[in-house]
Amino acid sequence: MRPVRLLTIDMTSCLIWLLAVSYLIGSIKVGCDSGVVVSPHPTQNLSWWQTGVVYQIYPRSFKDSDGDGIGDIRGIISELDYFTYLGIDCIWLSPVCRSPMKDFGYDCSDFEDIDPVFGTLDDYKTLVAEAHKRGLKILSDFESVYSSDQHDWFQKSVRREGKYTNYYVWEDGLLLPNGTRAPPNNWLSIFGGPAWQWNDERRQFYYHVFLKEQPDLNHRDANVRWEMLDTLRYWLDLGVDGFRLDAISALYETGNVTLNEPPSGRNVPHDQEDFLNHTYTQNQPEVYPDVTSWHELLQEYSRKDGNERFMVIEIYEGTQIRKKLYATGGNPFNFDLLGMSRNLTAREVFETVMNEYDNLPPGKWPNFVLGNHDSRRISHLYGPQYVDVFNTLVLTLWGTPTTYYGEELGMLEADLRWDQTLDPWGLFYGPSRYDEFSRDPERTPMQWTSGPQSGFTTGNTTWLPLATNYTTLNVQTEKESSQQTSLKLYKQLVALRKKQAFQTGEFKPAIVTDDVFSYFRSGDFETYLVVLNFRVEEVNDWSTYAGVKATAVLVTPGVKAIQEGQEVNLQNLRLGPGEGLVLRVSTTTSPIIG
């Protein structure tokens, strides 16, 4: 932990030097004091993905157009104006490829077609066109690690047909004394159990990092690498603006399958993935040249028409792996805000933010993720009263924010019984442990209205149950309320983020304690103070802000005593748990963290 000290310093001479250096190298984070963070030079030209907000759609759960209870592409098209209302710049779609749906679309049986449950390829083309009309960018999910076992490539590989023979990772396994064969090593699937599956027709084992119905592609085969580039070209030619790379840490495994992975020492069952350290199946050195080649292809398209393409990378490992992925030209997701301790403190939030800044390679751009389809919602992780301060945090920090659908509403999760569970990860562990692993709770349908099925579908059922609070927590109710709501706050934050102070302005931590995380954002001769209470009790000691003049710009819904535009006496400020403010201040001289 960083020791806290409160002090005031004259920043003038320091900033002159910092701005001069940052002008030369483009992006820098240094400080006269360790609490000072300087963002990119304020006159730097930024791309759309740096100035914008990325919004993730889980298509099955966003909006249903045909009454079958499953979200689809036409449903997304019908709600594109919602993103215009919010001010969102980019929408990222989880997979809509043709699939047997063993893992709800992540198991593609055709990388270049749309599954009928979501619509048609023409529907997808319409979505891209209509999104572009509204100034929205589209990111497509790119599944490069595996395919469905129903994919034509796998069927041909089973039959050893021509170039497809080695499209997947095949091994003979170990010959046992009784004449049968066992898997070649102890590798485990992320979804639990052995990562090797015997195929009777080919008489070999194939490797699968996820479900047995998702065989891993063999990227050591030049034909597979060509197929991946060709798939990217296909979607780029259809007009997508970039890609989110799925599960990239598992793209390669070591070529020496005689190597067993060592135990992790964690107190988990032997068939659970965390039982092993994945030294031979994750983050192999061959990953980075492949990702670099994909980014180079996107840059080739960007040069053709002047419209920059964006590549964001799913990665859960720490800063050293992220640094290697930054070197490929892509932008690795930072999920650290989703992995903090459940009884978190404001100081831990601060440390998590600073870890991103402290380890950012020169010239690179940070990002912060708030929720996704594989992680429990913020309301579950840290408590529903903290959703608004987390939204305020990610939308006022330096870096690109990614929002998971419904987080702008403060959506809660549904409590799902075992008999309602659909996620294969949860199903593997059975009735006693399903709720530890199931991702169904964070994938429940988007809550649009207080009416039947929350306006998600005209049908009588939804593919997953709705959360119980949908009658009061939904787009329509929050939009039409006469009071401040999570949705209204989110919309205001997106608009505020368009200001230079929040894009390339200086980030400077102010008071940081176990209870409060506050910081300044400065630019275009404006300075803002963001104050967030992560405590379980009211905070009312702000004496160190004496002399700071402030006007409320945004208030979270729980703040009743302060109105937007009101002058605020910080010494008398009272903030309850999960409450926060964005203030415009008239001076930058204030306590900072050391």
Distance CA 248, CA 252 (A): 9
List 103, 221, 246, 442, catalytic entry: 246
The helix (run of H) or strand (run of E) holding residue 204 is strand 204-207
Alpha-helical (H) ranges within 318-440 are: 319-326, 346-358, 378-381, 387-396, 424-428, 430-437
43, 60 Cβ separation under 8 angstroms: no
194 forms bridges with which residues in the sheet? 188
Closest C-alpha among 272, 267, 249 to residue 186? 272
Contact between 144 and 133 under an 8 Å Cβ cutoff? The reply is: no
The pair phi, psi for residue 201, each rounded to 5°, is -70, -45
Structure tokens at 298: 């996107």
Residue that is written with structure tokens 């309850």 in the block: 576
Please answer whether residues 493 and 555 qualify as being in contact, where contact means their C-beta atoms are separated by less than 8 angstroms. Answer: no
- Which residues have C-beta within 8 Å of that of residue 241, sequence separation ≥ 6? 90, 137, 138, 139, 307, 309, 310
* Cα dihedral 423, 429, 431, 437 sign: negative
The total of other beta-carbon atoms located within 10 Å of residue 88's CB is 23
Pairing state between β 367-370 and 400-404: parallel
Cα distance between residue 403 and residue 502, in whole Å: 17
Q: Which helix (H) or strand (E) holds 370?
A: strand 367-370
Alpha carbons 277 and 333: distance in angstroms, whole number:
22
CA distances from 521 to 80, 211, 405, 518 (A): 31, 45, 27, 10
- As a whole number of angstroms, the distance between CA 513 and CA 552 comes to 22
Distance between CA atoms of 148 and 102, rounded to whole angstroms? 8
Alpha helices in 523-567 (DSSP H): none
314 annotated active-site: yes
User: Could you give the residue ranges of the DSSP H alpha helices within 140-286?
Assistant: 152-158, 222-237
Whether the Cβ atoms of residue 51 and residue 88 lie closer than 8 Å to each other: no
With contact defined as beta carbons under 8 Å apart, do 138 and 128 qualify? yes
Q: Which of 102, 208, 107 has its CA nearest to residue 424? A: 102
Strands 90-93 and 137-142: parallel
Residue in the structure block whose two tokens are 């509204």: 134
Q: What is the largest CA-CA distance in the chain?
A: 83
Catalytic residue from among 89, 213, 314, 440: 314
Of 318, 194, 319, which is closest to residue 257 (Cα–Cα)? 194
Where in the sequence numbering do the catalytic residues fall?
A: 246, 314
